[in-house]
Amino acid sequence: MECESVAFFRALGDETRLRCLALLHAEGELCVCELTHALDMAQPKVSRHLAQLRNAGVVAAHRRGTWMHYLIHPDLPEWACRVLEEWTTACAGQAPFTEDLRSLHAMPDRPDNACCA
């Protein structure tokens, strides 16, 4: 899988996509229902942003039941992984990323329950 640098940085050029990436980086793999809950956004909006990240090769997705699950693409080039690592480290403890993570952890029905079956 190739990740062009222009497409990669263009994909990072939106706050919603950055918030999704911060959550994926912190948690590994997340269901769309978890992302919509954490970001307090409608599912179509979150899915549209995730599709842009997927098209740029930044995230990978797979279906489990009726829900899509996302993770940082395992074949992301090392330089891109380092960019994400540096960026998430620099933003740790800052809003809105801390609130997103707090909201995710407070979610009552995480994916292993009925919401993503």
The answer to whether residue 104 sits within a structural domain is: no
In this prediction, the residues of the chain whose per-residue pLDDT falls under 70 are 1-3, 112-117
The number of distinct structural domains making up the chain is 1
**Residue-number span of the structural domain to which 11 is assigned:** 5-97
CATH number of the domain to which 60 belongs: 1.10.10.10
The answer to whether residue 80 sits within a structural domain is: yes
The answer to whether residue 107 sits within a structural domain is: no
pLDDT of residue 112: 65
Q: For residue 46, which of 79, 17, 26 has the smallest C-alpha distance?
A: 17
Q: For residue 38, which of 18, 60, 23, 17 has the smallest C-alpha distance?
A: 23
pLDDT of residue 92: 84
The pTM of the full predicted model, rounded to 2 decimals, is 0.90
